[in-house]
């Protein structure tokens, strides 16, 4: 009899699962219960997600097809078949996006006094202003390229906004190519607000594409611009660094980054009005087929509208404001080290503030008793208060060590720049282990107290990124527990030095023990169930893909273990299959905030073991990354994690999507009192904003 690991029908396709998540996000934009500007924001998030999906996942499928790979993934789907299914799904999704934009969101905004004007809408005063804006701000930075033997088709940047023009007439040199390309520099805003004094509505905006459409002829004096069409190309954005040959990872990566803008083409988007002649011409230039081609009824760079809600001061059209709360221990400024010594402290973002983490690092940087600060950095942003504090600490002579992951996708350039600045300030900068990304989130402060050194540690499920902590749900744990401190110190030594992995007292660490320990914990629930005891597992994460974990969960279900999976994104496991997974439920919560916490609960015969982790249950997290899984040792905090990180999500009947045995998701039917987990947590942990 085949084991679950060997039965492809028991696994869902990763790419299609990821698209199912994007559809759940799109449902937020479709929901008329959501504020109008937030619906627009969700619509833009879907576009941004799809951009990355093409840059990474679709480009990977194309590479598999080109390499002749017969099947991929545990579902053993043929790469060509998977690509065809993906293309069909994405075309349907994109069509729904633009239909929603044009039929509901934009008309709804017009009713609220928020308009996006086109050329026919301009008043004489607006026409004059737009012309002046073009001459002053736009035309000086444009470079028109007329195509001829001396001017071949230009190298079009990844995801840049471009215009293909059909021309008539001859230029000053007697040339007449008929086609020209204009690329809109990224320094130009894609949406411009018109001055209030010339606006008929409270907020009148104009797209950069509309301005160019009106005045682009000025770039071609003496010629006639017959038509102007928007287009955008998406490229493979995976970076290649030969890990066996590289001698300086930072230098190699810096050399590779520019190539991301010019990787292989994977998608072409054009405006609805684009002629067939130009469409065929562009497809030929980019060596793309009809499955790669998307004709859209609106801006081709829809993701760039995501800033519009921030430009409009209309609170009724946005989610209600709130002030993140604080644990009682941090309500009043004071000695954070003393507060942490008294007992572990848990932060639940964004319902509780990230400010204590910043304050903790600030206090450590200026405290003369602090002798060393060590921190891992995966994503922190181009601007980061935390990194500036570390720079100051290093300049003041403290021992600062930063394990900085250079290969954090799409944050490589920012991390390279921080690495250089930290080194110049005198910090020790280590890039982790070549071939294995450092994804764990750890901050350790070593302080001299009464003739001894004490370690203070902050461990998190999310990145040290002050911006994302406002929109991602995550847990952060402060502790002065000596055994946890020793474990964290040992991991830092692994990352900065050389030597074998040491046995850790409490932490589970990948790529060494995390996978084994998760399997062991699941199998322990199986044994308890087989012995007539209660077996229960609750796991909350972003993705579930690793085949052996899934196979073991199937075996646990067959043994009678009750399994609740809260998987925000892609999940390859199929719940509810008779005789295989009838004791497994899979839910995805999609709401105002991005669910990012990783929480693992094992009943363990009543001991109720609870873990916080930086890792999802994916191959890469178990075997190609440094990750940690932290036990919540304090009984009160353990109860908090269960009551905040798991229970509300299991009871959610507003934003919970349930998966059926075929992998399809549907919104959980609402019974009884409406309960949205994120709203429950906001009410319990956050505070109303103070009046101005």
Q: Give the pLDDT confidence of 611-628 residue by residue, as tens digits.
A: 999 999 999 999 999 999
Mean pLDDT within 380-406:
91
C-alpha 56/C-alpha 263 separation (Å) is 11
Tell me the pLDDT of the chain averaged across its residues.
91
* Distance in angstroms (rounded) separating the CA atoms of residues 446 and 453: 6
Our measurement of the distance from residue 328's CA atom to the centroid of its chain's CA atoms, rounded to an integer in Å, reads 31
Q: Please indicate whether residue 570 or residue 6 has the higher confidence score (pLDDT).
A: 570
4-317 and 328-506 share one CATH topology?
no
pLDDT at 255 exceeding the cut of 80: no
Fold annotation for 328-506? Endonuclease; Chain A (3.30.870)
pLDDT of residue 435: 81
Quick check: 420 pLDDT over 60? Answer: yes
Q: Is the pLDDT of residue 268 over 50?
A: yes
64, 15 contact by CB (below 8 A):
no
Strand partners, 401: 374, 428
- For helices 14-30 and 36-52, the axis angle rounded to 10 degrees is 160
Q: Which CATH architecture has domain 4-317?
A: 2-Layer Sandwich (3.30)
Contacts 24+ apart (CB under 8 A), 329-338: 330/356, 330/359, 333/359, 335/363, 336/360, 336/363, 337/363, 337/367, 337/447, 337/456, 337/480
Least confident range from 355-364, 369-378, 497-506: namely 497-506
Query: How confident is the model at residue 24, as a pLDDT?
Result: 98
Q: Is 349 a catalytic residue?
A: no
State mean pLDDT over 25-47.
Answer: 97
Is the pLDDT at 419 greater than 50, yes or no?
A: yes
HEC string for 630-649? EECCCHHHHHHHHHHHHHHH
Structure tokens at 236: 């493979």
pLDDT over 60 at 252, yes or no? no
CB 117, CB 194: distance < 8 Å: yes
pLDDT of residue 661: 95
Per DSSP bridges, beta strands 345-349 and 472-479 are antiparallel
Cβ–Cβ under 8 Å, residues 586 and 571: yes
Confidence check: pLDDT of 40 > 80 = yes
Cα(129)–Cα(193) distance, rounded to whole angstroms? 11
Tell me which residue has tokens 């993701």.
303
Q: Which of 22, 348, 349, 439 is catalytic?
A: 439
Q: Are 183 and 157 spatial neighbours (Cβ–Cβ below 8 Å)?
A: yes
Give tens-digit pLDDT for 453-500.
999 999 999 999 988 999 999 999 999 999 999 999 999 999 998 778
pTM: 0.93
Helix, strand, or coil here: 56? helix
pLDDT at residue number 497: 85
Q: Hey, what CATH topology would domain 509-685 get?
A: Endonuclease; Chain A (3.30.870)
Q: In the prediction, which pLDDT does 692 show?
A: 39
Q: Is the pLDDT of residue 201 over 80?
A: yes
Assign 246 a pLDDT band (cuts: 50, 70, 90): very low
Closest CA to 312 of 196, 190, 206, 203: 203
Q: Residue 563 and residue 247: Cα distance in Å, rounded?
A: 46
What pLDDT sits at residue 544? 98
Report the SS3 class of residue 619: helix
Per-domain boundaries in the chain: 4-317, 328-506, 509-685
In the chain, the percentage of residues whose pLDDT exceeds 70 is 93
pLDDT at 604 over 50: yes
Query: What pLDDT is attached to residue 136?
Result: 94
Whether residue 210 has pLDDT greater than 60: yes
Inform me whether the pLDDT recorded for 144 exceeds 50: yes
Burial class (CB in 10 A: 0-12, 13-18, 19+), 321: exposed
Give the number of other Cβ atoms within 10 Å of residue 666's Cβ. 9
Distance CA 357, CA 522 (A): 33
> Which residue would you say has higher pLDDT here, 577 or 166?
577
Q: Which two tokens stand for residue 659?
A: 């998966």
How does pLDDT run across 526-544, given as a tens digit for each residue? 999 999 999 999 999 999 9
């Amino acid at each position: 009899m085949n084991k679950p690991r060997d039965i492809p029908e028991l696994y869902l396709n990763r790419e299609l699962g990821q698209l199912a998540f994007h559809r759940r996000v799109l449902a937020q934009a479709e929901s008329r219960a959501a504020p109008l500007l937030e619906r627009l924001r969700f619509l833009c998030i879907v576009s941004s997600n799809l951009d990355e999906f093409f840059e990474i996942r679709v480009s990977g499928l194309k590479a598999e097809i080109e390499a002749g790979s017969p099947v991929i993934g545990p579902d053993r789907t043929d790469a060509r078949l998977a690509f065809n299914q993906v293309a069909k799904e994405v075309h349907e999704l994109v069509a729904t996006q633009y239909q929603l934009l044009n039929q509901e969101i934009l008309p709804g905004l017009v009713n609220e006094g928020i308009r996006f004007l086109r050329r026919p809408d301009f008043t004489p005063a607006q026409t004059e202003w737009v012309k002046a804006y073009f001459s002053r701000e736009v035309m000086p930075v444009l470079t028109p390229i007329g195509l001829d033997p001396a001017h071949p088709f230009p190298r079009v940047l990844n995801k840049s906004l471009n215009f293909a023009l059909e021309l008539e007439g001859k230029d000053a040199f007697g040339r007449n190519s008929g086609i020209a390309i204009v690329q809109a520099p990224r320094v130009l805003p894609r949406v411009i607000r018109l001055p209030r004094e010339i606006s008929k509505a409270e907020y009148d905006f104009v797209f950069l594409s509309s301005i160019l459409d009106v005045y682009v002829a000025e770039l071609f004096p003496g010629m006639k611009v017959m038509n102007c069409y928007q287009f955008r190309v998406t490229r493979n954005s995976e970076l290649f660094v030969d890990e066996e040959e590289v001698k300086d990872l930072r230098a190699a990566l810096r050399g590779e980054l520019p190539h991301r803008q010019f990787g292989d083409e994977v998608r072409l988007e054009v405006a609805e009005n684009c002629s067939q002649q130009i469409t065929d011409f562009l497809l030929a230039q980019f060596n793309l087929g009809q499955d790669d081609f998307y004709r859209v009824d609106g801006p081709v760079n829809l993701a760039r509208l995501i800033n519009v809600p921030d430009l409009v001061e209309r609170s009724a059209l946005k989610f209600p404001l709130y002030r993140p709360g604080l644990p009682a221990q941090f309500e009043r400024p004071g000695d954070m080290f003393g507060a942490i010594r008294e007992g572990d402290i848990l932060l639940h973002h964004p319902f509780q503030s990230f400010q204590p983490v910043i304050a903790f690092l600030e206090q450590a940087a200026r405290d003369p008793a602090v002798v060393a600060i060590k921190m891992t950095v995966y994503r922190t942003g181009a601007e980061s208060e935390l990194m500036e504090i570390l720079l100051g600490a290093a300049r003041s002579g403290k021992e600062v060590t930063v394990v900085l992951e250079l290969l954090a996708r799409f944050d490589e350039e920012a991390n390279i720049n921080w690495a250089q600045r930290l080194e110049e300030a005198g910090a020790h900068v280590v890039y982790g282990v070549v071939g294995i990304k450092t994804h764990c989130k750890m901050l350790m402060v070593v302080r001299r107290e009464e003739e001894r050194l004490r370690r203070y540690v902050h461990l998190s499920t999310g990145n040290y990124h002050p911006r994302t902590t406002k929109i991602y749900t995550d847990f952060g744990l402060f502790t002065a527990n000596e055994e946890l401190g020793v474990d964290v110190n040992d991991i830092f030594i692994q990352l900065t030095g050389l030597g074998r992995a040491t046995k850790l007292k409490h932490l589970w660490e990948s790529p060494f023990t995390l996978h084994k320990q998760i399997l062991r914990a699941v199998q322990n629930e199986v044994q308890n169930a087989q012995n007539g005891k209660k077996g229960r597992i609750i796991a909350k994460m972003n993705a579930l893909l690793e085949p052996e974990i899934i196979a073991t969960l199937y075996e646990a279900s067959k043994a009678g273990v009750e399994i609740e999976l809260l998987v925000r994104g892609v999940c390859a496991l199929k719940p509810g299959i008779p005789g295989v997974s009838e004791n497994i439920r899979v839910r995805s919560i999609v709401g105002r905030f991005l669910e990012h916490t990783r929480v693992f609960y094992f009943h363990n015969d009543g001991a109720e073991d609870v873990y916080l982790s930086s890792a999802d249950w994916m191959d890469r997290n178990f075997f190609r990354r440094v990750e940690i899984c932290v036990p919540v040792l304090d009984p009160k905090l353990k109860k908090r994690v269960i009551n905040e990180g798991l229970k509300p999500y299991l009871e959610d009947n507003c934003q919970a999507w349930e998966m059926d045995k075929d992998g399809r998701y549907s919104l959980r039917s609402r019974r009884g009192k409406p309960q949205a987990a994120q709203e429950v947590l906001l009410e319990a942990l956050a505070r109303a904003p103070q009046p101005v």
